[in-house]
């Protein structure tokens, strides 16, 4: 059994990312895992200012919601980032959060496996490549962690549309069941 942290980065109401994250979480829980869910909706996450003070103190000098999220990330066994694809890349708020997780770099973080669930209006297999590559760049900085897999659900655009997509909801559920 793993302690899984799912972070949904969509800010849209009736988000397709959130709908599919719910299916993923159900699968992960049915497989016997403990799952915590965080949505970035309503969270204040400032941009990293690049001061690098966190490399000495393992704490960010800025005070916002990224501090609490970073602590949860640090203590999870498995991470799942859920993001809509905007212009063939992860959401800006996801990238901002990854930058703000810099204090974890020199810490004794627990996470080992990192997954990604992406959702986009476009349906070509190549759509999530840059988002996955961006996350891989972050993971490469954490020598004890590895990118363990991803699921792309394309062809979903209108708010709440994923709620009518049984195939994609089942794929997300099965993906959740497979998380280690």
Question: What is the tens place of the pLDDT at every residue in 4-19?
Answer: 999 999 999 989 999 9
Question: What is the tens place of the pLDDT at every residue in 17-57?
Answer: 999 999 999 999 999 999 999 999 999 999 999 999 998 99
- The boundaries of the domain holding residue 149 are 3-178
What is the domain count for the chain? 1
Q: Are 26 and 175 in contact (CB under 8 A)?
A: no
- How many Å apart are CA 76 and CA 111, to the nearest integer? 5
Instruction: Identify the CA nearest to 48 among candidates 125, 130, 104.
Output: 104
Task: Write the DSSP string, the chain.
Answer: --EEEEEE---STT-HHHHHHHHHHHHHHHTT-EEEEEE-TT---PPP----THHHHSS-SS-STHHHHHHHHHH-SEEEEEEE-BTTB--HHHHHHHHHTGGGTTS-----EEEEEEE-S---TTTTHHHHHHHHHHHTT-TT-EEEEEEEE-S--STTGGGG-HHHHHHHHHHHHH--
| Backbone torsions φ then ψ of 113, nearest 5 degrees | -110, 135
Provide the CATH number for the domain around residue 15.
3.40.50.360
- What pLDDT does 180 receive? 75
Question: CB neighbours of 108 closer than 8 A, spacing ≥ 6?
Answer: none
- What pLDDT does 1 receive? 84
Q: Which two tokens stand for residue 149?
A: 């897999």
- How many Å apart are CA 40 and CA 44, to the nearest integer? 8
What pTM does this model have?
A: 0.97
The residue ranges of the chain whose pLDDT is under 50 are: none
């Amino acid at each position: 059994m793993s302690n899984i942290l799912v972070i949904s980065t969509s800010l849209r109401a009736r988000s397709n990312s959130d709908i599919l994250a719910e299916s993923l979480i159900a699968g992960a829980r049915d497989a016997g895992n403990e799952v915590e869910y965080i949505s970035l909706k309503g969270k204040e996450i400032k941009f990293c200012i690049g001061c690098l003070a966190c490399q000495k103190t393992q704490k960010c000098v800025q005070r916002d919601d990224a501090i609490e999220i970073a602590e949860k990330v640090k203590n999870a066994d498995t991470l799942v980032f859920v993001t809509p694809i905007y212009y063939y890349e992860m959401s800006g708020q996801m990238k901002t959060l990854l930058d703000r997780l810099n204090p974890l770099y020199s810490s004794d973080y627990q996470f080992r496996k990192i997954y990604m669930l992406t959702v986009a209006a476009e349906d070509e297999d190549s759509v999530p490549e840059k988002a996955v590559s961006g996350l891989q760049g972050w993971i490469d900085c954490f020598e004890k962690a590895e990118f363990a897999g991803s699921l792309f659900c394309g062809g979903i655009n209108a708010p709440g549309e994923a709620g009518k997509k049984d195939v994609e909801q089942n794929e997300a559920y099965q993906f959740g069941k497979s998380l280690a």
